[in-house]
């Protein structure tokens, strides 16, 4: 397992109003959600990075208003047309 270290000033930590453990969890989850949103990781890997189950990660994405679907509307329509034989 690898460790990623992030340095934050005392002022930044105080401004975020979390104890260090809560802040670390929040930053992990936020990073995982952003990586998922930009298509860098799957739900499974995003959940692993966030330290939560896949279903909890999907719920977290919803709270952040990040779509759990990585397909664009055009890709979804193209897939539907293939299924329908159009």
Instruction: For residue range 2-29, list pLDDT tens digits in order.
Output: 998 999 999 988 888 888 999 999 999 9
Task: List the domain range (segments joined by +) for residue 56.
Answer: 10-84
**In the predicted structure, residue 81 carries a pLDDT above the cut 80:** yes
Confidence (pLDDT) at 66? 93
Could you tell me if 68 and 43 are in contact, meaning their C-beta atoms sit under 8 angstroms apart? Answer: yes
Q: How many CA atoms lie within 13 A of 79 on its CB side?
A: 6
Short-list 60, 63, 64, 51, CA closest to 25: 51
pLDDT digits (tens, 9 = 90+) for 42-52: 999 999 999 99
Asked if residue 43 belongs to a domain, the reply is yes
Confidence (pLDDT) at 73? 75
Please list, in sequence order, all residues whose beta carbon lies within 8 angstroms of the beta carbon of residue 18, skipping any fewer than 6 positions away: 26
Confidence (pLDDT) at 16? 86
Please identify which residue in the block is written with the tokens 């860098």: 40
Cα–Cα distances in angstroms (integers) from residue 51 to residues 1, 12, 30, 36, in the given order = 13, 23, 11, 14
**Maximum alpha-carbon separation in the chain:** 60
pLDDT digits (tens, 9 = 90+) for 49-64: 999 999 999 999 999 9
Asked if residue 2 belongs to a domain, the reply is no
Domain count, the chain: 1
Asked if residue 56 belongs to a domain, the reply is yes
Asked if residue 5 belongs to a domain, the reply is no
């Amino acid at each position: 397992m690898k460790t990623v270290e992030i340095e934050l000033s005392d002022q930044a930590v105080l401004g975020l109003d979390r104890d260090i453990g809560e802040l670390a969890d929040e930053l992990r989850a936020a990073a995982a959600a952003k990586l998922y949103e930009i298509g860098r990781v799957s739900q499974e890997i995003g959940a692993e990075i966030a330290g939560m189950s896949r279903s909890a990660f999907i719920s977290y994405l919803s709270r952040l208003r990040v779509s759990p679907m990585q397909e664009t509307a055009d890709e979804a329509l193209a897939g539907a047309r293939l299924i329908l034989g159009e």
